[in-house]
A and B are shown apart, each in its own frame.
Chain A
Amino acid sequence: MDTLSAPLTIAFDYTRSLGPVLGRFMAGLRERRVLGGRTSDGRVRVPPLEYDPDTHEPVTDFVEVSPTGTVLSWTWTDRLLEGQPLDRPFGWALIRLDGADTPLLHAVDAGTAEAMNTGMRVRIRWAASPVGHIRDIACFEPEPVGLPPLSHGRCDSGGSPTGTSDGDGGAAAAPPVTIMTTPIRLHYRHSTSVEESGYLRALAEGRITGRRCPVCRKVYVPPRVCPACGVATDEEVEVADRGTVTTFCVVNVPFAGQRLTPPYVVAQVLLDGADIPIPHLVLGVPAAEVRMGLRVTAVWRDRADWSTTPENIDHFEPSGEADAPYETFAEHL
């Protein structure tokens, strides 16, 4: 049986606390200046490390390096992904800026792979309006041939850096950037198991199905590999669309991404015939009157709107039956 799947996107604009070192680096970018950090081995690292890997001390010696540099190695990509620096094929390159001893990875807008080569000279293309963000470096571009080198000389590895030591002046005038927002978007294809797909397809027909574990004989809704016994559940069992509220909470708190307006009751509903409760909404009754043991029945949406989702059940509401005795659901708490 083919299984059901659907896209899932998880996205958040994370707010990075940069701290004194990276905050300084970003402040430099805002002024179209690149700051490296000199570590105890004499090397200038770009971007700067926050702590010296040998002495473990905070890095405090900032060195301005050139916006031009040399490609040490590269690859070409024409398989573009969301969030990359360019929306057309480009070279991913390790670029050592003049005055730095370590390369940084960035995109080179070279047009074609044939225009890329190891040793090629490149320079930063700045964002139109730098704001103190890593994206202020829009990308790199090939440096026009024949231009004289900028004031910063090349730094051969092992040699002493020729960049300008920043000391307590220079970019120190720019206050460090405190927070940098980095939006992150993750796109998944969420796939269900064979068992869950069967359950969802039954829901599309207005039925609720579970499966019984062959070892412990418990009925799982939705069906799954028995978490207690570690074996596949085989026997399909149809359960009722009514059951007992084992326990619940009243959600009064609003939060990002919430799809319902508080307050609302989320209850654990033990469907008749099942051995594990499902969480669902209990509406049609004041929250203060919801109680453990309350008997409830599913309120289905219009049949025309049914699909392969538990949302076919809009919510549960009191069935009017007498409350279930505590002993009948105590072992499901």
Chain B
Amino acid sequence: MRRAAVLGTGQTHHRTRRTDVSMAGLCREAIDRALADAGLGWEQIDAVVLGKAPDLFEGVMMPELFLASSIGAAGKPLLRVHTAGSVGGATAIVATSLVRAGVHRRVLAVAFEKQSESNAMWALSIQPPFSAPITAGAGGYFAPHIRSYIKRSGAPDHIGALVAVKDRRNGALNPYAHLRQPEITRESVQASTMLWDPVRYDETCPSSDGACAVVIGDQRAAESSVGQVAWIRATSMRTEPTFYAGKDHVNPRAGATAAAALWAAAGIKDPLDEVDVAELYVPFSWFEPMWLENVGFVGQGQGWKLVESGETALGGALPINPSGGVLCSNPIGASGLLRFAEAAMQVMGRAGEHQVAGASTALGHAYGGGSQFFSMWVVGRNPQ
């Protein structure tokens, strides 16, 4: 298969409300930084892929229509991607596919969410007729499955707090992060309000305005790049129904099969040993141990032990979310692409204060819907 690489990345300063910019301005802040990082001009971009989570979040049907000229798509192919919360990852993978298929030399992938224009909790709790009034946003959806994980794995109660402390402190090293809390402690997390028992306030992602962009190029583009690129060693996407009899919400089949395919395609036999850093989509802290197991870094029931050992912190054997992750910044449509971009930044050596020393192989991961869509990639300092 043809090779492809990340040539540059860019993101916004993520905040609760970015009322200083429109949706177009938000996207451009990320795009302009990605182009500068790649050392490229607009004329070198052949196509644009835009990712966005549900339209109800901003109340704009098909935002790609009105954003086309602002995101540099005039006169070029423009595709819009939508796979709920995983859309940022899917957007990067669609762009990668266009390059690997030999259709385009350089493709711009951009994803955003301007949550301050609406209310995601409301948008995710619409009650259709003939149903009972019991939905309570994403937290209400995922909290029972976290409870199931705790029961199944025998994890002690404090694991969620450990992840929250780690990620929020990591976020303090990331100038773009929405929440930057260097003083947070396990005790303060455990003292925070219980929102959707067993999920506490400090174990929950914020609601953010933000965008992320990456430029993906083919081998020639990568080899002519001035800076270090992130070679895309493998991508993987899988889908499963939100609900079906026997669905495993703790260890979703689509996530496990996507990861197995990813490792095989990347030639990785022992992910825990061969991967240096991972950006996992963790909107509630307990999803770190759950996804560590689901993607196969450790066996079933072992994820919380890796967390407790401290090995997922910066300086550990497998730092998870050195950027602070979704727990620190959650512009939903962009959150997946941020995971992919942060993985690339690590192997490009451009992650700043949250750089993992010597990172040469990294995982970017995203999921969306009711654990329905999974997308991931492995990027490396070297093509193989």
Interface residues in chain A, defined as those with a beta carbon under 8 Å from any beta carbon in chain B:
4-8, 10, 12, 14-22, 49-51, 53-54, 56, 178-179, 182, 184, 190, 192, 196, 200, 213, 216, 218-220, 226-228, 246-253, 255-260, 266-268, 275-276, 279-281, 287, 292, 308-311, 313, 326, 330-333
The residue on B at minimum CB distance from A189 is B129
Q: A17-B19, A331-B246 are in contact. List 9 more A-B contacts (CB 8 A).
A: A8-B129, A17-B17, A17-B117, A50-B25, A53-B69, A227-B241, A228-B241, A252-B195, A255-B125
Q: What is the CB-to-nearest-CB distance from A40 to chain B, in angstroms, rounded to a whole number? A: 12
Instruction: Please measure, in the bound complex, the distance between the C-alpha atom of A8 and the C-alpha atom of B22, giving whole angstroms.
Output: 30
Output the least CB separation between B192 and chain A (Å): 11
Contact A252 B134 (CB under 8 A): no
B132 / chain A contacts, CB cutoff of 8 Å: 279-281, 309-311, 313
Instruction: Let me know if B384 is at the binding interface, CB within 8 A.
Output: no
Q: Which residues of A contact B246 (CB under 8 A)?
A: 218, 228, 275, 331-332
- Return the contact of A17 from the options B18, B151, B197 (Cβ within 8 A): B18
Bound state CA distance, A281 and B134, in angstroms? 7
- Per the bound structure, the CA–CA distance linking A7 and B129 in Å amounts to 7
| 26 A/B residue pairs, CB under 8 Å, sorted by A | A5-B129, A10-B56, A12-B118, A14-B117, A16-B22, A17-B22, A17-B114, A51-B24, A51-B28, A51-B70, A184-B59, A190-B130, A220-B245, A226-B244, A248-B144, A249-B144, A252-B197, A253-B137, A256-B122, A257-B122, A259-B133, A260-B133, A279-B135, A280-B134, A309-B130, A310-B131
| Pick from A226, A247, A309: contact of B144, CB under 8 Å | A247
Interface of A is mostly: mixed
- Chain A residues closer than 8 Å to B23, beta-carbon distance: 17
Interface residues of B (CB under 8 A from A): 17-25, 28, 42, 56, 58-59, 69-70, 72, 74, 114, 116-119, 121-123, 125-137, 139-140, 143-145, 147-148, 151-152, 193-199, 209, 241-246, 248-250
With A and B bound together, what is the CA distance between A51 and B31 in angstroms? 13
- A309 proximity list for chain B (CB < 8 A): 130-132
- Which chain B residues border A14 with CB–CB below 8 Å? 58-59, 117-118
Tell me which residues across on chain A come within 8 A of B194, comparing CB atoms.
Answer: 250, 252
Shortest distance between the CB of B120 and any CB in chain A (Å): 10
8 nearest CB pairs, A to B: A19-B22, A249-B143, A250-B197, A6-B129, A227-B241, A218-B245, A259-B133, A53-B69
